[in-house]
Structure 1
Amino acid sequence: RPASGPAQLARVGFVAQDTPTYAALSVADHLRLGARLNPTWDAHLAEGRIRDLGLDPGLRVGRLSGGQRAQVALTLAVSKRPDLLILDEPVAALDPLARREFLQGLMEYVAEHGTTVILSSHLVSDLERVCDHLVSLVASRVQIAGDVDDLLGSHFRLTTARRDAADLPEGMRVLQATHTERQSTFIVRMDTPGNEPDGVLEPLGLEDLVLTYMAEGAAGPARRPVQEAQR
């Protein structure tokens, strides 16, 4: 059974949304605690990360910034050398610079050690930079899943003279449509190349792609998000 014993838990690293640490303990205390609790603890890795981050090992964690505390939490998680690293909204409360530094450190670790990472986040722009596979959930239901490159290569925004979705070429799945008096804009999925439609076809960014599927999931199967805007 998953997580049924210490041997399995030792193979999983976890960083929660609030990046929990002990405010009264020093950075060095956290590393000593990690070493005592984890039989696979890599002291060289832990000490090297703290040194590279420029953190004073003797400083109490409660005096660190939010970004620095997040880095300490990540250090504790990766220094147990897990096979799987689970991150639950780890950068949600961080400023943009701290988010970038956290994710950069994460990617450097993954590139060196090949660890599998599951990252939960509402910050889609961050996902596009660091993830190679996407699963989007709405109300605990999967709306879209696939390799990021494949998803970006099959979703487009089509702008054309006003027309009905039924008039688009075969092979286009319309996910969203908006209309003005003279113009129609469609978010479409094309898994295989087909007839080029009249109009302007542009690649869809990951954030727009995710938001489209979230809107579709929130609307339910009975209705698609079609909006009318008269000019």
Structure 2
Amino acid sequence: MTALTATGLGKRYRRSWALRDCSLAVPAGRVVALVGPNGAGKTTLLHLAVGLLRPTTGSVSVLGMPAGEALSRVAVLAQDKPLYDGFTVAEMLRFGRRLNPRWDHELAAKRIEELKIPLNRKVGKLSGGQQTQVALTVVLAKRPELLLLDEPLANLDPLARHDVMRGLMSAVADTGMTVLLSSHVVSDLENTCDYLVVLNGGRVQVSGDIEELLAGHRLLTGPADLADGVAARLTTVDDTRTDRQATMLIRGEPDALDPRWTARGVGLEELVLAYLRRPDSSTLPRPALASA
């Protein structure tokens, strides 16, 4: 089963396309990194997925249902963390309980207690990290099958970012929910996510299991005067050269190379940045859309 399926999805604002020809299948039970630069279409995709926007072209379904019809099974945490500053933490939890029929009050209360966040403290008086933790508690207590997070770590210090991600991963381990985590900071996702979607210029550029993607790429370094010959027989994603040295990210396993060339594996950030630098490098096949 797929948690989110988009087919030919597009959204246009007047003359500009925020998202275009987006075909995507997000497997259920995965923690998905949705990565791309600002303006790539990440927020637009999430808003389309929950029915806040209507597509200009194509379609999107969530948990096998049209967008907007599975809202009781989906939770969303936006970047601006929509909390009421004048509410106490206890009032915020009661508010969440009234709005969500699947609300797990025991989970919410236990999580706030473990985080040592005072129930009588006004939300507006909490630190940025505490506010994010309260907002995350509210969406987790909804017991969603799919959790959409739009830049939830923005404006947090490194310690707060780590604490929020640790809490999120604990919840994922307990529930098995699918998480789609939007960010343009790849380092936040490297040890958390197991599936990658790269949006660039409103289009899906990369999609797949992270381990498989990393295993399927190599970073080559060698003399610049030999680079043309090497690039001509390989699937090259990114090619950076100086007068003496060339560095190429390739897809696949290189055949016999001149001894002056070295090959090594790549990290997630190297892979993502290489594709983002080359918007036309779309060498990965589009994912087959599994039936919901």
Q: TM-score range by the shorter chain?
A: 0.7 to 0.9
* 1:29 alignment partner, SS class: helix
Residues 153, 203 of structure 1: 8 Å contact kept: yes
* Equivalent runs, 1:24-63 vs 2, <5 Å: 24-63=86-125
Matched, 1:139 2:201: yes
Matched, 1:94 2:156: yes
1:5-55 CA-to-partner distances (Å, cap 9, x unmatched) read: xxx211111100011211100000011111111111001100010001001
Residues 161, 184 of structure 1: 8 Å contact kept: yes
More helix by share: 1
* Equivalent runs, 1:79-90 vs 2, <5 Å: 79-90=141-152
Aligned to 2:27: none
Aligned to 1:195: 255
Matched, 1:207 2:269: yes
Distance 1:41 1:130 in 2: 26
Matched, 1:158 2:220: yes
Q: Which amino acid aligns with 1:195?
A: D
Tell me which moved more, 66-75 or 199-208. Answer: 199-208
Q: Which amino acid aligns with 1:71?
A: Q
Q: Structure 1 unaligned runs (5+)?
A: 222-231
Residues 111, 137 of structure 2: 8 Å contact kept: yes
Distance 2:125 2:215 in 1: 46
Cα deviation, residue 179, structure 1: 2.4
What's the Cα RMSD here?
1.7
Aligned to 2:137: 75
Q: Structure 2 unaligned runs (5+)?
A: 1-65, 282-292
Residues 169, 197 of structure 1: 8 Å contact kept: no
Aligned residues: 214
Using structure 2 for the length normalisation, give the TM-score. 0.70
Distance 2:274 2:254 in 1: 22
Distance 1:64 1:197 in 2: 57
Using structure 1 for the length normalisation, give the TM-score. 0.87
Aligned to 2:185: 123
Aligned to 2:67: 2
Distance 1:128 1:171 in 2: 31
Q: Which amino acid aligns with 1:15?
A: L
Bigger RCO of structures 1 and 2 (CA < 8 A, at least 6 apart): 2
More strand by share: 2
* 2:103 alignment partner, SS class: coil
Distance 1:186 1:216 in 2: 12
1:112-151 CA-to-partner distances (Å, cap 9, x unmatched) read: 1101000000110111111100000111111111111111
Aligned to 2:284: none
Residues 72, 100 of structure 2: 8 Å contact kept: yes
Distance 1:138 1:49 in 2: 36
Distance 1:32 1:200 in 2: 59
Residues 156, 187 of structure 1: 8 Å contact kept: yes
Greater C-alpha radius of gyration: 1
Distance 1:169 1:23 in 2: 56
Residues 176, 188 of structure 1: 8 Å contact kept: yes
Tell me which moved more, 15-24 or 155-164. Answer: 155-164
* 2:191 alignment partner, SS class: helix
* 1:10 alignment partner, SS class: helix
Residues 158, 187 of structure 1: 8 Å contact kept: yes
Aligned to 2:30: none
Matched, 1:185 2:247: yes
* 2:278 alignment partner, SS class: helix
